Chain A
Amino acid sequence: MYRHTVFSRVYPGGEHLVSFRTLFGLLACALFASAASAQISTGQQKVTSDAEKLEASADHLARMKAALKNVLGRVEEARNEKDVVKLNCVNEKLTQIKALLKVAEQADISLHEAISNRDPGAEAEFSKVAIARAKIDALRGESDQCIGQLAYIVDEKTTVEVQQPSNLPDAAADVELFAGEARRGPPFPVPPVVRPPPASPGAR
């Protein structure tokens, strides 16, 4: 009796354990699965040829370095402002970005070697670069959030300027009482004068 199952029994006559139809089906699934995986790892572009892989890897590295430069700028900004909280926050992101960039640069070198040796490991090295870029992009965004979280803390460095109409009734002006124009006192009253001459001969 013949039963069509995925893993068929071995017949004494030397028939295959797995049917050909089943084998083709599995192969097709594996191919589709690997293609999907490649698309996820490379972001939004499908890289097929070796030349494209090298070009895309170089682009990823350039963008990662730009992100590093951007976050370094934020560290410098926080250092100038002597804001320890802000500095710690951005430094944490910077450390991770540096480590990821190191990994990506090493993977880029390995990618070049693999391609020149026609080594199938090129795909894995390229994936490393792409993953590092995705993570660095996320960290750069987090460093922006880090600044954003601190923006509402009003201290001597972070200022919020509100321009309001000058003619509104105000609670007070933030100037010292005896500084600037007030140094000489407020507008003084007009002293009385001796009776002015009459406007016309008939007037009193």
Chain B
Amino acid sequence: MKSTSSAAGLLAALLALAATPAGAAPGNGIRLGGSEGRLHPYLDVESRFDSNVYYAAPPPGGVVDVGYVGDLIVHIRPGFNLKVPGERVAVDLDANLDWAQYGGVQENASTDLSKLYGAASLGVTAYRRGTIGLELDDRFRRDPSTSTFVFSGAVISNKNDLSVRAPWRPGGGALVISPSFDWMLETFEPFNECAPGTPSPPASCDPDHLSNLGYNELRAGADARWRFLPRTSAVFAADWFSRVPNDTALATDVSGIEARAGLSGLVTPHLGATVKLGYANTLGSTAESYGTVLATLEGEWLASDSARIRVGWDHGFGMEPDPTYYLYTTDRIVLGARYALAGRYGARLDGYWERRGYAFVDGSPTADLLRIEPTIEAALSRWINLTVGYAYTSRASSFSDEPGYDYTKNEAWLRLVFTY
């Protein structure tokens, strides 16, 4: 232990010595030694008002009277970003801690929801232009946001996604064939304690139950992209997947194959499109046979260099950590509009709608999510960025009308990022 800390101290001292400030101006970063790499420490401060942080539990035997409580949440995120560009090896590392402080604006009790989160990502690219390259990406995130819909309330998700690809570019790069391997690990922790006196606490606040709902998801496959015109490609991707829950009594092991083929590129100088069609099958790993068509349609209008609009629809499938609602078919519509002005100001409008239809469950239950998010960004200076945003979220479920499954919320935020 002592030797480890000594080594870490020595490494820190060496890095500190190697770091020579290339330019005194903030935003330029710290140049590491004589390399092209630059380290950018940053501080991200966000003040967000959430209209629906929690709801008051009805008294036992009382009338359900949901009283939504909002709060002001201040996020302080210190972090750093390291970028080392290079033809042979390029590295991109980003890490930050996130302290979320609940202000207790409407009710003091919400201050107990204050917690520490964090995120880190590492991208290493080797031989970017070589005949054979290597791309390694790892992303870790700990936050109360998860794509799982089966929980009746917020949970803390610890998710790590590791992806390794080896692009092979025979004949100059028009054709790229990339074998890939993905390993995703997600574990859950309670976001808050169960309300006192709850007879049968839900999984979302039961630490023992949640710890068993974690899972590993493995994917191995390959994708090919053949660029037969300067901006148009034929694409094909196929992979085998397996989702292995920590406890198969609480969630179901699902594995299978999926494949997609299609075209992606510019139809006219101002119009882009992606069309893909495929098929997925669980190959008998589920109690009943499951197979679904996969489809993707995307359109993009490039109005100018600084303005564009994208709309897409995707039909696919997904898995949840639940013994009943474990496999679903999903339809998603995504809208994205961007406008940049003078390189310093930007306006964005993002929209997302998703409907999940759970398979093998009587009554074909569904869960819907709608989110509209307009934001305005401004680069106040080379090292200060400001974002003002608003988001409307609506969530509905046909199988439950509990507040955790059926709610709306409004969020507004002001975010400042200081980057050295």
Contacts and interface: CB of A to CB of B under 8 A. Distances in A.
To the question of whether A and B form a pair in one complex, the answer is: yes
Interface in B288-307: 296, 298, 305-307
A186 B145 CA distance: 10
B153 to A, nearest CB: 4
Nearest to A189: B393
A66 B158 CA distance: 60
Nearest to A197: B193
Nearest to B387: A169
Contacts of B113: 193, 196
A169 B306 CA distance: 10
Contacts of B146: 188
A193 B230 contact: no
Contacts of A190: 50, 144-145, 154, 191
B145 A189 contact: yes
A176 B233 CA distance: 13
Interface string B229-242: 01100000000000
Question: Which of under 10, 10 to 19, 20 to 34, or 35 or more describes the interface residues of B?
Answer: 35 or more
Interface string B356-384: 00000000000001010000011100100
Contact of A172 (B139, B161, B336): B336
B154 A188 contact: no
A25 interface: no
A199 B310 CA distance: 46
Given A176-B264, A177-B334, A189 B395 contact: yes
A105 to B, nearest CB: 35
Contacts of A169: 340-341, 343-346, 377-379
Given A81-B172, A184-B147, A197-B109, A189 B371 contact: yes
B151 interface: yes
Interface string A52-84: 000000000000000000000000000011100
A194 B405 CA distance: 12
DSSP class of A's interface residues: helix, strand, loop or mixed?
Answer: loop
A184 B192 CA distance: 25
Contacts of A189: 145, 369, 371, 391, 393, 395, 409, 411
A165 B346 CA distance: 14
A188 B172 CA distance: 40
B310 A177 contact: yes
B401 interface: no
A194 B191 CA distance: 10
Nearest to B201: A194
A187 B371 CA distance: 11
A204 B345 contact: no
A82 B107 CA distance: 69
Interface string A154-196: 0111000001011111111000111001001111111111111
A161 B148 CA distance: 38
A198 interface: yes
Nearest to A81: B172
Interface stretch (B7-15, B54-62, B208-216, B243-251): B54-62
A107 B248 CA distance: 87
B108 A198 contact: yes
Interface residues of A, number: 37
A166 B52 CA distance: 32
A168 B403 contact: no
A186 B205 contact: no
A196 B196 CA distance: 9
A194 B112 CA distance: 12
A153 to B, nearest CB: 11
B99 interface: no
Nearest to B92: A166
Contact of B338 (A166, A170, A185): A170
A197 B113 CA distance: 10
Contacts of A188: 145-147, 369
Contact of B312 (A172, A177, A187, A194): A177
Contact of A192 (B111, B369, B409): B409
A198 to B, nearest CB: 5
Given A171-B340, A177-B336, A197 B195 contact: yes
Which 7 interchain pairs have the tightest Cβ spacing?
A169-B346, A177-B312, A169-B377, A193-B153, A171-B340, A156-B230, A203-B108
Interface of B: 27, 50, 52-57, 68-69, 81, 85, 107-113, 139, 143-147, 151-154, 161, 172-174, 191-196, 198, 204-205, 227, 230-231, 264, 274, 296, 298, 305-308, 310, 312, 314, 316, 318, 332, 334, 336, 338-341, 343-346, 350, 352, 354, 369, 371, 377-379, 382, 385, 391, 393, 395, 403-405, 407, 409, 411, 417, 419
17 contacts: A156-B227, A168-B343, A169-B340, A169-B379, A172-B310, A176-B274, A178-B314, A184-B147, A186-B352, A187-B143, A188-B145, A189-B395, A193-B205, A194-B54, A194-B55, A195-B55, A195-B109
